[in-house]
Amino acid sequence: MSGYSLDLREKIVESVKKGVPKAETARRFGVDRASVKRYCKRLDERGTLEPRKAPGKKPKLDEKARKLLLDDLQQRPWATHSQRAEFLLAVCGFSAYLKDAEAHS
């Protein structure tokens, strides 16, 4: 399930700021009371209602390798996946991309 829109979160917090009880705010907007509490707390602690970035794996390519790859894509649009992998290995020693290329060959 995805979270509520930023617009709705702002309306919820604004309702509580105007003095409407949290339980009543939850009923009005059709959300759980815990969500109302969480949004109020989030605004107090972080100053924003924006959701945090979802955790996940770090990208396989660092910024240097990504820039080199983008430059190579522009200079050699005809190059194959394996050729790009060999290029990254030769230029910056990045072998994970090569392993992925071999796995998909």
**pLDDT, tens only, 32-91:** 999 999 999 999 999 999 888 778 877 777 788 888 888 888 999 998 888 888 888 888
- Whether 13 is covered by a domain: the verdict is yes
The pTM is what?
A: 0.53
Q: Report the residue count for the chain.
A: 105
Tokens of 59: 């990208």
- Whether 41 is covered by a domain: the verdict is yes
CB distance 49 to 39 below 8 Å:
yes
pLDDT band for position 1 (cuts 50, 70, 90): very low
Higher per-residue pLDDT: 76 or 100: 76
CA distance 30 to 100: 46
Domain containing 67: what range?
A: 63-104
- Whether 56 is covered by a domain: the verdict is no
Burial class (CB in 10 A: 0-12, 13-18, 19+), 36: buried
For residues 42 and 74, state if they share a domain.
no
Query: How many structural domains comprise the chain?
Result: 2
- Whether 82 is covered by a domain: the verdict is yes
CA distance 37 to 14: 12
- Whether 52 is covered by a domain: the verdict is no
